[in-house]
Amino acid sequence: MTPTSLDRRRCVAGLGLLATSLFVRPALASPHVQHASRVMLGTRIDIVAQGKQANQAMALAFAEMARLERLMSLYRPDSEISALNRSAGLAAVKVSPETLAVLQRGLQLAQFSDGAFDITIGGYQGWSFDPANPRLPSAAQLLRERALVNHRQLVLDPAKHRARLLHAGARVDLGGVAKLPILQAGMAVLKAHGLDGAMLNGGGDVLVTGQLLGRDWRIGLRDPRAPERVLGTLELSDGVVASSGDYERAFTVQGKRYHHVLDPRTGLPTQGVRGVALLARSSQAINGWGATAMLLGASKGQHLLSKLPGVESLIVNAQAQTWMSSGMRDQLKPPPSA
């Protein structure tokens, strides 16, 4: 999906906050708890931290995440990804170790899913999910662009830290695989300052460490069928909850709804899965798997997620049926009555 950066902010800023604000807001009245937010990564990033160095730690965490965004954003002309896309069909470009690692992860997911997940999805440029100016590409445009979307067009040289797109017009979009590593880098900065507890929330992905005023963090999962509602809550002191869904950016044309999770094989929105939530101790364990499950469909996605070690999962399919792993079922508590 390839909206402008402003489109992304308009569409997704603040998403995911319902999951945590219900439970964090009362704690913000305490002088021991600090809060800060920034708009980056196409969404709003919130940090809540408790500890003597909370303000300094939050500032440094935002700075680190901004540094990585400058490397990997499709929407910054000075990023390494933009340089790679401009050089498509011409030459290889030098990339940082951080960008290389995310590109490698994207190719791993593509190979594992037989192309269902594909970071060259940026080749589909006809869509816009700006609510003020939605745009639906024609069937002819999708057909032309389909030839540009193939992860095999991306060639990496890890030894020389170089990446190359073989065909002109091909474009890498790391939107489905870069956010969690960037958030994890921000969390690493927070942990390095020895805070009593910290939560980092970015557009439906929540990382936590320690506790909030002596209690585990409570994280609410949005219900993909009605995103204004909480499906249930999770309590944890160290880990990550990541969500993917078709409810974040969408528009309707002639009674048909189009959402932003595009199938690389067709250029059209995915079918069969409304949303996925994953719970793990580390972001590395789940990065990209939620989007991959949506692309594979409910049955194959369920089979995939049930095999991931140390990962608990939840899928809501197109028929509004919910499947949960046994661990997720045990840990997910009913939402508060209020």
The mean pLDDT of 5-30, rounded to a whole number, is 46
DSSP letters along 133-163, please? Answer: S-B---HHHHHHHHTT--GGGEEEEGGGTEE
Query: For residue 218, which phi and psi values (nearest 5 degrees)?
Result: -110, 125
Q: For 180-211, how does the pLDDT look when each residue is reduced to its tens digit (9 = 90+)?
A: 999 999 999 999 999 999 999 998 899 999 99
CB contact at 8 A, 249 and 269: no
Q: What does DSSP say about strands 238-245 and 205-210: parallel, antiparallel, or unpaired?
A: antiparallel
Report the residue count for the chain: 338
The mean pLDDT of 131-144, rounded to a whole number, is 93
In the predicted model, is pLDDT for residue 19 greater than 80?
A: no
Query: What percent of the chain shows pLDDT beyond 70?
Result: 92
Name the range with the highest mean pLDDT among 1-10, 57-66, 227-236, 242-251.
57-66
Angle between helices 179-192 and 54-72 (to 10 degrees): 150
CA distance readout (Å), 318 to 244, 278, 297, 299: 14, 18, 9, 11
**124 SS3 class:** coil
- SS percent in the chain: helix, strand, coil, step 5: 35, 30, 35
Name, in order, each residue with C-beta under 8 angstroms of 71's C-beta and a sequence gap of 6 or more: 79, 80, 81, 95, 96, 98, 99
In the predicted model, is pLDDT for residue 179 greater than 70?
A: yes
- Give residue 32's pLDDT: 85
Cross-strand bridge partners of residue 269? 262
Give the CA angle between residues 125, 127, 130 to the nearest 5°: 125
- Give residue 27's pLDDT: 74
- Mean pLDDT, rounded, of the chain: 90
pTM: 0.91
CATH superfamily of 16-70+195-331: ApbE-like domains (3.10.520.10)
The mean pLDDT of 2-29, rounded to a whole number, is 44
More confident residue, 228 or 114: 114
The mean pLDDT of 10-17, rounded to a whole number, is 30
- Residue holding tokens 């800023």? 13
